[in-house]
Structures are given as structure tokens and as C-alpha cells.
Amino acid sequence: MSSSLEVIYSVRVEFGDCDPAGIVWFPNFFRWIDAASRHFFMQCGVPRWEETAKTLGVIGTPLVDTHTRFVASASYGDELSIATRVAEWRHKSFVQAYRVMRGETLILECEEVRIFGGRREDGSLCALPVPAEIARLCGREV
């Protein structure tokens, strides 16, 4: 089961995002990817995690696995767009996929496995079954 929904998140690269080689220091890409992930859910109409914590027990979408392929570098002044979608819905996790572009130039591709995180009674994190209403909002095709 995949999704056809794709949401764009746009980023201006700033001077301070770049390293002494003059290019984006790569951890900043993960900063933007995380924002794009959250932006995807917001655009789909999923409420803030404080809300879902109360209604569904979901406190966020912790990352389990991430695989990123860097194709071209970027620098300050660049305008990037991050196309985000859910590539796969699983029972207790989902695959979120990103393409970071500068115009027609592919900068990087990233594929993540995330879970819907809840808390056990002792406060520790656990993976909840993907909530049906969230998957539906995000365009899961049944």
C-alpha cells in the first residue's frame, strides 16, 4: 500500500548552513528533511503531536532507519525544494521518501523508516500500529 500524495517543503540555504568548504554541512540536510517530514503530516491535516498524544497516544514519528544518497552539493543562496511522500505503509512503521532538488538538479535522495511513537507505562518509547485515520489523511491507497 503506497501513497500518491506528494508535498513540497522549500528551504533557503543560509551562510551558516555551510562549512569551511563552502558547501552545506550535511547534518543540516537532515534538519530540513525532518522539517519536511513534519510538514508533510501538517499539510495532510494531521494535528500537532501534543494533540495526537491525547487522542491516539502518538507523540511523534521517531526515526528507525535512514538511507541517503548525496548526488550534488548545495551552497548558500540556493533555494531547495524537498518533495516528500510516504512510499509504503507497514503495520507498525512506514517508509517516508524525499527528493531534494535545486531547480532541475537532484541534490540528494533519502528514504527513511519511521514509526508512530507512543510511551509505555514506564515512560519508554514504543512503536504503535499505524493509526488508520492518520494513514487515511495521508492518502493511503487501500
Active site residues per annotation: 19
Q: Which residues have CB under 8 Å from 60's CB, separation 6+? A: 49, 117
Residue 58 three-state SS: coil
Binding test (CB under 8 A) with a second copy, winner from 2, 8, 30, 57: 30
Q: Which residues have CB under 8 Å from 49's CB, separation 6+? A: 58, 59, 60
To which H or E segment does residue 112 belong?
strand 105-114
Question: Residue 62, interface with a second copy (CB under 8 A)?
Answer: yes
Question: Residue 76, interface with a second copy (CB under 8 A)?
Answer: yes
Binding test (CB under 8 A) with a second copy, winner from 55, 79, 92, 125: 125
Q: How far apart are CA 123 and CA 83, in angstroms?
A: 34
Question: Residue 129, interface with a second copy (CB under 8 A)?
Answer: no
Nearer to a second copy, 66 or 81 (CB): 66
Question: Residue 22, interface with a second copy (CB under 8 A)?
Answer: yes
Question: Residue 103, interface with a second copy (CB under 8 A)?
Answer: no
Binding test (CB under 8 A) with a second copy, winner from 82, 84, 100, 117: 117
Phi first, then psi: give them for residue 68, nearest 5 degrees.
-130, 135
Strands 105-114 and 94-102: antiparallel
Question: Residue 66, interface with a second copy (CB under 8 A)?
Answer: yes
Please give the residue ranges that form the binding site for a second copy (CB under 8 A): 12, 14-16, 18-23, 25-28, 30-31, 34-35, 38, 42, 48-49, 59-60, 62-70, 73, 76-77, 117, 125
